[in-house]
Amino acid sequence: MRLSFENSSAIISQIQRNEIIMRILENTQDISRFKSLDSIFRRKHDDVESEFSPYFVRYHRRLFREPDYLNCLLQYVKWWSEVLDISGKAILDVGCGFGVFTMMFSFFGARQVHGVDHNREKIELFKKLLTCVKPPFENVFPSLADGHRLNYNDANFNAVFIKDVISHVRELPPFLDEMNRLLKTGSKMLIVDENNALEWSGRNERRRKWNSWESGEIKPEDVRGGEKPITYREMRREIISNHLENFDFQNLPSIPIILLDSEDIEKGREHIIDRLACLTQGLWGDEVIEGARQILETGELKLKAEFPYRNPITGEMMEREFNPFHLADVIRKHGFIATVIPPRYYTRKWWRNAIGTVIRFTHPLSIFVQPGFYILAVKKA
């Protein structure tokens, strides 16, 4: 039977894919696990959405668009495993999401792999994803938890992996102290993030996202499962409005000038709440109410926001930028030896891999042209 060009290409692609997998993975059970994971991203979107969730598909949209990219991710995890030296050890994946990387760490000799995330939908679907992988993993453990306060014993882990999380952490010092508590002396922490403040090409997109979430139009693909598609300003407005539900604005001795956005006289309760929501930008939790109270009572806001774009309910930062070298300095103050290390790139395009090689060998100067950064930290005695 004559094969079509498309069928021939598919067969060649399958052979190449198998060669890559077998070159990286030696254990036949791990090869089977990887293939069963890979098969999920080759299914129809509608089928996966109905079994998992629309957010799961949005989150992994590149994998559904380019299923072979999972092979590239496998190569990344192999390198990260070598950097962290995880063979025979317990590793913690903080902000593990749906657990794809967490599961892959088990392929490279980890004794235990724990994945934690504070998003309930992600952890529930992580557990569901585990049931789809055959043969089942015996050393992968997902948990719903806040990275600032984890229910593990001191010095419980030999390695900590933190990818695309550090720019969302609401309170960096206690977070780093918690990572220090969980690690054994001499153990490693690898931080990977895409928000490199020294690289300019991503700045416009980050600012678009900042402004969108603060007071603009939110893209559906930016909304996580279980979240309301409302702006941070609208969230603060709800918080202030609920708290001041019985407040008598008519009996204010005077309307603070800061609440007026023009020379108009007082425009009523709704206008004042709108202005309070605007002026408390960057505050979160009880700070929102305290800031509103300060403005109403004194006409000025004394609280200073650490970062102007953050979720007023959870306190999460929105893609906060970091100078990698400054961040390494901060990490050193929390009991680590920290180094900004050169990246590696694994893509399906030879020319991109070539560019990645140039970037790696021109480090640290190349930090100005690479979107992300890697920081390797070792816990001091």
Name the DSSP class of 146. Answer: B
Averaged over 118-144, what is the pLDDT? 96
- Please tell me the total number of residues recorded for the chain in this structure: 381
171 and 228 both lie in a single domain: no
Let me know if residue 8 belongs to a domain: no
Yes or no: say if 300 and 338 are a contact pair by the CB < 8 Å rule: no
Q: What is the pLDDT of residue 9?
A: 45
Number of domains making up the chain: 2
110 and 167 both lie in a single domain: yes
273 and 357 both lie in a single domain: no
Percentage, residues of the chain above pLDDT 90: 76
Cα 244 to Cα 23, 126, 238, 273: the distances in Å are 63, 40, 10, 9
Cα 356 to Cα 247, 352, 362: the distances in Å are 59, 6, 10
For residue 338, pLDDT beyond 90: yes
286 and 183 both lie in a single domain: no
Let me know if residue 15 belongs to a domain: no
Let me know if residue 307 belongs to a domain: no
94 and 233 both lie in a single domain: no
281 and 348 both lie in a single domain: no
237 and 116 both lie in a single domain: no
Let me know if residue 35 belongs to a domain: yes
Let me know if residue 345 belongs to a domain: yes
pTM of the model: 0.91
Residue numbers of the domain that contains 38: 21-197+321-379
29 and 149 both lie in a single domain: yes
Let me know if residue 187 belongs to a domain: yes
> What distance in Å separates the CA atoms of residue 2 and residue 24, rounded to the nearest whole number?
33
DSSP result, 45-92 = HHHHHHHS-HHHHHHTHHHHH-TTHHHHHHHHHHHHHHHHT-BTSEEE
Averaged over 121-145, what is the pLDDT? 97
> Any idea what the CATH number is for the domain that residue 129 is in?
3.40.50.150
96 and 169 both lie in a single domain: yes
Which residues, at least 6 apart from 308, have a Cβ–Cβ distance to it below 8 Å?
Answer: 210, 214, 281, 282
Amino acid letter for position 40: I
Yes or no: say if 310 and 317 are a contact pair by the CB < 8 Å rule: yes
Let me know if residue 308 belongs to a domain: no
Yes or no: say if 42 and 71 are a contact pair by the CB < 8 Å rule: no
42 and 188 both lie in a single domain: yes
Q: What is the pLDDT of residue 138?
A: 95
- Residue 171 tokens, joined: 């309170």
Q: pLDDT digits over 205-251, tens only?
A: 999 999 999 999 988 777 877 778 899 999 999 999 999 877 766 66
Mean pLDDT of the chain: 90
Let me know if residue 203 belongs to a domain: no
181 and 75 both lie in a single domain: yes
Percentage, residues of the chain above pLDDT 70: 90
